[in-house]
Amino acid sequence: MSSSVSASAYRCMRLIEIEQQGYSDWNALTQIPQASSSPVFSRVDDVEEKTEKNNLEQSLSQQPGTKKYLLMGDVAMDGARLLDTIILENGDISLILDKTVFHPQGGGQPTDLGVIRAASAEFMVKMSKEDRTTGIVQHIGSFSYGGIEDLRGSSLRLLVDVTRRKEMAAIHSAGHILDVCMVRLGFALKPTKGYHFPDGPYVEYEGTMSPEDRETLPRKLTAKMREIVSENIATEIRFLPKAEAQTLCSDADLTMFSERALVRVVAVAGGWCPCGGTHVGSTEELGPISVTRTRSKKKTLRVSYEMSA
């Protein structure tokens, strides 16, 4: 059961986002050139990581649009290239690059923030968003100095706001752990939605629970989640052929992936599921977590949590 919760929430949110995308000119943007410069990795330490980097490269080569090197947790990159720009109605500028380390808002997880720099320009990214059909990521924001012409033809440096990345990754990872703990407590409810923003994160499940169980659930979940945090369990990320991913994530619906695709699967606290979000390196990074309340409406159970004692 644990393998499907975050995945289902992820898919759910992404489907909602596809419907909400308001841009009409995506078709014109799908024919962008492929990345030509070599990626810069920051964490190639040993054979196992190199293997995963190779798998990441293979996985990225299968994906359309912007190549998303954040998938191994990277927060900085050199050598990105500007492919296109869009001037939005509100005056903001959207930059489309050949590759990125910015996490696009989605899967119930907020956008990364940060800067894109060239020799004589700096662009402040206040929203990164991905068109799910084309895979193209927009970096929306404004220039603190310089302008679009200073980016054209330049090798761009991308720097993610690491403090915010860690905070958002922690909130999202806590959702994974909540899921793991629901299973450990014997509540195998089907997940339907995840909301991992700072202003009241929660996970929703399809199904009902007795009033007695609902009343004691926050206390039990809080205790179980803190137990997992103290165990300092390392997060694992793999890119696997679909069949292997399905074996690890037996309840997950992988029909969206082609048979030849490498699927990114993530285990936070040992619970494997397909996920495109950002995560803590180990559970201890989460600090104190509290499950604050449950809400039952029709056949939906919402479990809310916060990242504090």
Distances (CA, A) of 290 to 166, 202, 223, 306: 18, 11, 8, 5
Of the two residues 68 and 117, which places its CB atom closer to Zn ion in the complex? 68
Q: Does residue 277 bind Zn ion (CB under 5 A)?
A: yes
Q: How far is the CB of 18 from Zn ion (least distance, A)?
A: 19
Measured CA to CA, the distance from residue 280 to residue 226 in angstroms comes to 15
Q: Does residue 108 bind Zn ion (CB under 5 A)?
A: no
Of the two residues 114 and 175, which places its CB atom closer to Zn ion in the complex? 175
Which residue stretch of 134-142, 245-253, 267-275, 281-289 sits at the interface with Zn ion (rule: CB under 5 A)? 267-275
**Residue with token string 């009902």:** 208
Q: Does residue 194 bind Zn ion (CB under 5 A)?
A: no
Q: How far is the CB of 301 from Zn ion (least distance, A)?
A: 20
Q: Does residue 174 bind Zn ion (CB under 5 A)?
A: no
Measured CA to CA, the distance from residue 205 to residue 198 in angstroms comes to 20
Residue 14: count other Cβ atoms within 10 Å of its Cβ.
17
Q: Does residue 141 bind Zn ion (CB under 5 A)?
A: no
Q: How far is the CB of 299 from Zn ion (least distance, A)?
A: 25
Please classify residue 173 by burial: count the beta carbons closer than 10 Å to its beta carbon, then call 0-12 exposed, 13-18 middle and 19+ buried.
buried
Q: Does residue 191 bind Zn ion (CB under 5 A)?
A: no
Of the two residues 141 and 194, which places its CB atom closer to Zn ion in the complex? 194
Measured CA to CA, the distance from residue 172 to residue 108 in angstroms comes to 8
Q: How far is the CB of 3 from Zn ion (least distance, A)?
A: 12
Measured CA to CA, the distance from residue 270 to residue 277 in angstroms comes to 16
Q: How far is the CB of 31 from Zn ion (least distance, A)?
A: 31
Length of the chain counted residue by residue: 309
Residue from 5, 180, 265, 275 binding Zn ion (CB under 5 A): 275
CA 250, distance to chain mean position in Å, is 21
Q: How far is the CB of 156 from Zn ion (least distance, A)?
A: 27
CB 245 within 8 A of CB 140: no
Residues near Zn ion (CB under 5 A) are: 275, 277
